[in-house]
């Protein structure tokens, strides 16, 4: 779904009791919180739990409350929503305290890669309301995308709350099979890093061909950003857009012959490399799931 307006998100929160607790406010947690506040979430309804207070000073200045850890956090009632935004390796350290804070009706969201619903249910209870999420870092500017899988206990109202919170940062797609979270992690969760590396590679190539470092970066960054926007806005497929740029026997065709592995240089092509890249990320997600 698309991002709700500020009035829509704030109205939805106003209709329900309880605070929203964000456990872990690193890059992804901060990106999501920025989207929530920009979409109208009242800052005073948010409790931030993170050992590092200084990076959160801007959020605290806006009215968000703060605790260094869950043991020191105080709420007058169980939270409406608790998001676990800590790294998978740190999840075991917070689950017990998080389960003590959550109530039977609390919605528990997690963005940790690889950790399955049944592991959360072992701490929160078999009938806990758990949604696994895999957002990505463009959520910070409202251009993210999130894959979501709910436990059986999640209500339609809790789905609506999930959509409103994550929709503030971009589309949310519900999955009907939890195993697909590994693929979402490999493609969209890790994918921005692949694109950023593409910018790095294009920048270096530009320098190798004689452009200054600053100029090469400007050309590479604007090209990737512009091509992405064109792909989103165009009704044509990425394959057709590629063909639109490619004149017969022209410069683009010469470059693509290398990139697609169809020249005589013995290259495997970008498609095969991306497939291997995504499979490595997928395998690591499966490994984290235990």
Q: What stretch of H or E contains 66?
A: strand 65-67
Q: How many CA atoms lie within 13 A of 264 on its CB side?
A: 0
pTM of the model: 0.86
Q: Which of 118, 177, 162 is nearest to 12 (CA)?
A: 162
- pLDDT value of position 169: 83
CA distance 191 to 277: 10
- pLDDT value of position 2: 42
β-sheet bridge partners, residue 150: 131
Q: Can you name the CATH fold of 6-184?
A: Rossmann fold (3.40.50)
β-sheet bridge partners, residue 49: 23, 67
Dihedral sign (CA 118, 120, 122, 126): negative
Q: Which of 168, 164, 100, 162 is nearest to 133 (CA)?
A: 162
CA distance 272 to 277: 9
Q: Kindly report, residue by residue over 60-102, the tens digit of the pLDDT.
A: 999 999 999 999 998 989 999 999 999 888 998 999 999 999 9
Q: In what order do the strands lie in the sheet with 46-49?
A: 65-67, 46-49, 20-23, 81-84, 107-110, 129-134, 146-150, 172-174
Mean pLDDT score of the chain: 91
**Superfamily (CATH) of domain 191-289:** ProC C-terminal domain-like (1.10.3730.10)
Of the chain, the percentage scoring pLDDT greater than 90 comes to: 73
- pLDDT class of 265 with cuts at 50, 70, 90: low
What are the extents of the domains in the chain? Answer: 6-184, 191-289
CA distance 87 to 290: 15
Judge contact between 113 and 134, C-beta under 8 A: yes
Q: Kindly report, residue by residue over 191-214, the tens digit of the pLDDT.
A: 999 999 999 999 999 999 999 999
Q: What stretch of H or E contains 47?
A: strand 46-49
Q: Kindly report, residue by residue over 107-152, the tens digit of the pLDDT.
A: 999 998 888 999 999 999 999 999 999 999 888 788 899 999 999 9
- pLDDT value of position 67: 96
Highest mean pLDDT among 77-91, 158-172, 213-227: 213-227
């Amino acid at each position: 779904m698309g991002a709700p307006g500020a009035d829509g998100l704030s109205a939805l929160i106003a209709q329900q009791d309880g605070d929203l607790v964000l456990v872990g406010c690193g890059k992804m947690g901060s990106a999501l919180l920025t989207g929530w506040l920009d979409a109208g979430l009242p800052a005073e309804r948010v409790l931030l739990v993170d050992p590092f207070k200084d990076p959160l000073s801007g959020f605290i200045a806006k009215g968000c409350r703060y605790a260094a850890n869950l043991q020191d956090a105080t709420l007058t009632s169980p939270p409406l929503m608790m998001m676990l935004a800590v790294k998978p390796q740190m999840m075991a350290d917070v689950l017990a305290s998080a389960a003590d804070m959550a109530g039977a009706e609390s919605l528990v969201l997690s963005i940790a890669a690889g950790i399955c619903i049944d592991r959360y249910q072992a701490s929160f209870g078999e009938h806990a309301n758990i949604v696994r999420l895999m957002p990505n870092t463009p959520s910070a500017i409202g251009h993210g995308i999130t894959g979501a899988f709910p436990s059986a206990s999640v209500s339609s109202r809790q789905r609506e709350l999930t959509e409103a919170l994550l929709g503030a940062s971009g589309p949310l797609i519900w999955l009907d099979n939890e195993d697909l979270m590994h693929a979402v992690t490999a493609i969209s969760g890790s994918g921005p890093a692949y694109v950023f590396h593409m910018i790095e590679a294009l920048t270096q190539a530009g320098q190798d061909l004689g452009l200054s470092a600053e100029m090469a970066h400007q050309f590479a960054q604007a090209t990737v950003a512009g091509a992405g926007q064109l792909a989103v806005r165009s009704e044509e497929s990425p394959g057709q857009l590629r063909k639109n740029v490619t004149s017969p026997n022209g410069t683009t065709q010469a470059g693509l012959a290398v990139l697609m592995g169809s020249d005589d240089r013995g290259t495997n092509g970008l498609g095969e490399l991306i497939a291997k890249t995504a499979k490595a990320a997928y395998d690591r997600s499966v490994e984290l799931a235990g």
